[in-house]
Amino acid sequence: MAENLVISSSQFSSNINENQFVLTSTTEEKDYLDNGELIEFYDLEKCVGCIKKCGIVSPKVALQFPDAHLCDSARVAQLVEEKINCKTYILADTSYGSCCVDEIAAEHVKADLIIHFGQACLSRTERIPVIFVFGKEKIDIDHCCQSFQNCFAEKDCKVLMIYDVVCHHAIDTIYSRLATEYKSLVLASVNCFDDFIGKKKHVKTDDAKERSVKNNVGVCSRNVSDHKACCKVTEVDKKLNDVSLNDECRTNNSQCRFGRTLRLENGCSIEDYVVFYIGKESLTLTNHMMAYNKCQFYSYNPETSVCRKETLNVNRLLMKRYYLIERAKDAQVVGILIGTLGIANYLSILNRIKKILRQCGKKYYTFVVGKINPEKLANFMEIDVFVLIACPENSLISSQDFYKPIITPFEIEIACTRAREWSGEYITDFQELLPGAACHVDIENKNTEEEEVPDISLISGQLRPVCAQKG
């Protein structure tokens, strides 16, 4: 008879002290704001004024907050409803990035208006009027101006000032102080108070029609003669009113990119300027460094009050992106990722990408996956490369954690069309690729014998089939 097997109970236990497991919060503690500070920080008086201007009795207002400000959302909604007869809805978990306006969630409640709080990419929307409220993050104006002067000792140097939207409340003061000494200082002013807010709702629901009043003019529309009363246009914004607010506008001296307008001196190009960026390290800074990759960047972080010369090797990043373009040239199956359902013209760029892929003989699939992650995309291993349609700040995704590369619409155009060549200029906003934009190129397939030139893959060293070459 086999001996009884005795197993010590100590093998199923340990001497670990449970007290050593302490749950800690990974989020930074946020200062508590009383009602007065809350009204000031979120500029609720402006919000209420714009709601009144929308011309709808008892409107439905969607309040969109980033994760860092969700703790204030309930109190903000209560304060807004106390000041004006409206029904508020809090949009917490956005469908895509928090910097983008979540029109999809707002349409679920048939909202008449969206108020977007916090960080914003300023991408255009199509269906619902939007009010952008950036908040008033703390910034030491005196220290910022002193840091600028320390970086640029020569008063006649050409400097382009770009800022994060959360610093918008202080930029008028900063610019006014420095512009008296630096005559060649150019400000990239955020276009938020006229064209982005002023937009009628294209299609009204039956519910909204019942509550609509006569001569509905939208929110802060240009048709409203006193729109400045609720928009609070700054002095800097007034100076740029005669410049088109179209993102795709780009002339010899004026440029409108990423929701910002800048006017250069006569005879100067963007390469002649040094960029001074006010804001913390973020996707906004990276996006501008890629777009203006021939300019030297300095940055001032309001949170840490640290000014530094940016040492990011943009050329190295560009070469990494060029490698992904070569991967796209070798790809036979392409996945098109829809990273937005609210940005204007996303269907136009989708149809353009499909046309390009058809012309060069590549098979493609379209995916609407919301917020992307490696686990989601790993389910589609037959895809060779993904093309992401998203806002400029969410388009540049590192493919390091993903099984297959993720590229931008600009990169797929370089890979699959002979009309678009790699020149070092980098475009993250797909709006600049569409017809009517300054960077638009014709993608019509001419099928000439000159285009059927053998193409060698720089990755495999093999000859690419004709159908996989540029159209």
pLDDT < 50 positions in the chain: 1-14, 16, 18-28, 193-248, 448-450, 468-471
Tokens found for residue 18: 């449970």
Return the CATH number at 368.
3.40.50.11860
Q: Which phi and psi angles does 161 have, rounded to 5°?
A: -95, 120
Residue found by looking up tokens 């004709």 in the block: 466
Structure confidence at residue 197 (pLDDT): 45
258 conformational bin, left if phi > 0, alpha if psi -120 to 50, beta if neither: left
* End-of-domain residue from the set 293, 312, 331: 312
Positive or negative: CA dihedral 60, 66, 70, 72:
negative
Domain that holds residue 266: 141-195+254-312
Q: Which phi and psi angles does 260 have, rounded to 5°?
A: -130, 145
pLDDT tens-digit profile of 378-419? 999 999 999 999 999 888 888 888 999 999 999 999 999 888
For residues 101 and 256, give the distance between their C-alpha atoms in angstroms, rounded to a whole number.
20
In the chain, the amino acid numbered 355 is K
Asked whether the beta carbons of 406 and 399 are under 8 A apart, the reply is: yes
Based on the domain organization, do 63 and 94 belong to the same domain? yes
* End-of-domain residue from the set 278, 297, 312: 312
Based on the domain organization, do 66 and 121 belong to the same domain? yes
DSSP output for 127-194: SS-EEEE-------HHHHHHHHHHH---TT--EEEEE-GGGHHHHHHHHHHHHTT-TTEEE-EE--SS
Based on the domain organization, do 152 and 264 belong to the same domain? yes
Could you tell me if residue 161 is inside a domain? Answer: yes
For residues 93 and 244, give the distance between their C-alpha atoms in angstroms, rounded to a whole number.
34
Q: Which phi and psi angles does 389 have, rounded to 5°?
A: -100, 110
For residues 471 and 468, give the distance between their C-alpha atoms in angstroms, rounded to a whole number.
8
Structure confidence at residue 63 (pLDDT): 95
For residues 268 and 266, give the distance between their C-alpha atoms in angstroms, rounded to a whole number.
6
Closest CA to 424 of 287, 292, 301: 292
Structure confidence at residue 195 (pLDDT): 39
For residues 328 and 385, give the distance between their C-alpha atoms in angstroms, rounded to a whole number.
6
Tokens found for residue 394: 């969410």
* End-of-domain residue from the set 312, 339, 360: 312
Closest CA to 104 of 269, 342, 296: 342
Structure confidence at residue 252 (pLDDT): 56
DSSP 264: P
In the chain, the number of structural domains is 3
Based on the domain organization, do 258 and 189 belong to the same domain? yes
Could you tell me if residue 92 is inside a domain? Answer: yes
